Amino acid sequence: MWRRRLAGQRRSKGQDGQSLLETAISMPLLLGLAFNIINWGYLWFMVLALSAAPRMGAQYATQGGAAGTGTAPGTTVVRDLVWENVTNAVRGATTSNVAVQVCTSAKGVNSSTGVALCDQFGPAFAFSAPAADPEEPVYVLDRVDVEYTVTPIISGTAFNVLLPANLKFHRQVSMRSLY
């Protein structure tokens, strides 16, 4: 501006509000893109957290729980481990919005099918029936399912383009039991 004054030049009258108009048009688009990128990153964090929780629960159930006990842990112990993992890792996750199903040989095995019996905890969700191990009756599969309804970290219709408001994630892990 001071250069124009020194050189004696003046702006043309048609360009006075051009930069303001360009900013007003581009800013909502750039903010929408930035917030959708934040929600997308949160989605992937969610996928990682919800993949780790049932894996830890299945490992705990199949490997006998606490070291040296020689007995398989019950379904409530495995459930508590999974809930602790999910609720500490995911913002807004509580025992009222995370469904967990634990199928373990510690609860028992159906004698006709060779499938471990299950307990379901949390909100109602239709988990599929566990499959029998292909090498049954030598092995029994222990299985942990986790289902969680994701809410975006930044809500609003403009910011839920990539991540819908009520997206359900379901993760299942099956492992052969040592017991």
pLDDT tens, 66-112?
655 667 788 888 999 998 888 888 777 777 788 999 998 888 888 88
Mean pLDDT of the chain: 80
The answer to whether position 115 is within a domain reads yes
Number of domains in the chain: 1
Q: What are phi and psi of 101, to 5 degrees?
A: -125, 130
Amino acid 62 reads: T
The answer to whether position 5 is within a domain reads no
The answer to whether position 69 is within a domain reads yes
Residue the block writes with tokens 């095995």: 109
Domain span at residue 81 reads 16-176
Q: What are phi and psi of 154, to 5 degrees?
A: -115, 110
pLDDT recorded at residue 55: 92
Q: Is 15 left (phi over 0), alpha (psi -120 to 50) or beta?
A: alpha
The answer to whether position 11 is within a domain reads no
pLDDT higher than threshold 70 for residue 6? no
The answer to whether position 8 is within a domain reads no
pLDDT recorded at residue 45: 84
Give the separation between CA 140 and CA 142, rounded to whole angstroms: 6
Q: Give the pLDDT band of residue 169 (cuts 50, 70, 90).
A: confident
Within 8 A by CB and 6+ apart from 103, the residues are 115, 116, 117, 118, 130, 141, 142, 143, 144
pLDDT higher than threshold 90 for residue 168? no
The answer to whether position 129 is within a domain reads yes
Tally of CB atoms within 10 A around 44: 9
Q: Give the pLDDT band of residue 51 (cuts 50, 70, 90).
A: confident
Share of the chain above pLDDT 70, in %: 81
* Whether this model's pTM surpasses 0.85: no
pLDDT higher than threshold 60 for residue 1? no
pLDDT recorded at residue 26: 93
pLDDT in tens, 144-164: 999 988 777 777 766 666 666
